[in-house]
Amino acid sequence: MKLVEFVWLPINIKLLLLLLTIFLFHTFQYYQYRVYKFGGITMHRTTKNTITGQEITKPNPVNEEVLFNGGVMITETDKNSIITYANRKFREMTGYTKEELVGSPHNINRHPDMPKAAFKEMWEIIRSGEYWEGYVKNMRSDGKYYWVIVSIKAKFNENNKITGYIAGRKVPNREELAKIEAQYKAMKAAE
């Protein structure tokens, strides 16, 4: 259809085309990120809190690091990786409120630069009840990123069944981090 021919279309068809264009534009904006799978949970541009029902829109990544200066940063999740507890240091570092975090999937702060394979290995280890530790690049609510070394341990009930996980974080070794970043970039490129 030529642009000149568009002028002669009836008004209701023009309106329909305009609405369709707007819809497609917003759909593209909403799904501008690829979809990632971590531990069986799909990471989308938005996430929904299972307690409040609030939809939380994840920010666009910003290429600016916020250094984790230490302290105790702890979260607890159920066995499906839904956050059940996030301490004050974690909330401060991520920029999310307690109400936003508790009830949300833990990948709410996952940075899209993280390779799937890193989390596949992590889930295999912690679901078997073993301890896991590794470097993780996370994204804050403002889109900036931070690196931490995460340690995750399963929580068990009286019948020795996994009921959830507890994670603590520490400051990464900056020399080691350079090697990890290169490794993660190679893993990501291979996806």
Please report whether residue 9 resides in a domain: no
Rounded to the nearest 10 degrees, the angle between the axes of helix 174-189 and helix 116-127 is 110
Domain span at 84: 36-189
pLDDT value of position 39: 40
pLDDT value of position 149: 97
Please report whether residue 88 resides in a domain: yes
Please report whether residue 118 resides in a domain: yes
| Token code pair at residue 102 | 């508790």
Run of H or E residues at 124: helix 116-127
Contact 135, 172 (CB under 8 A): yes
Please report whether residue 121 resides in a domain: yes
37-56: string of b/e by CB count within 10 Å (b at 16+)? ebbebebbeebebeeeeeeb
Please report whether residue 5 resides in a domain: no
How many domains does one find in the chain?
A: 1
pLDDT along the chain (191 residues), means of 10: 49 56 46 38 70 92 94 95 97 97 96 94 96 97 97 97 97 95 94 90
Please report whether residue 8 resides in a domain: no
Please report whether residue 140 resides in a domain: yes
Question: What gap in Å lies between CA 81 and CA 189, rounded to an integer?
Answer: 26
Please report whether residue 13 resides in a domain: no
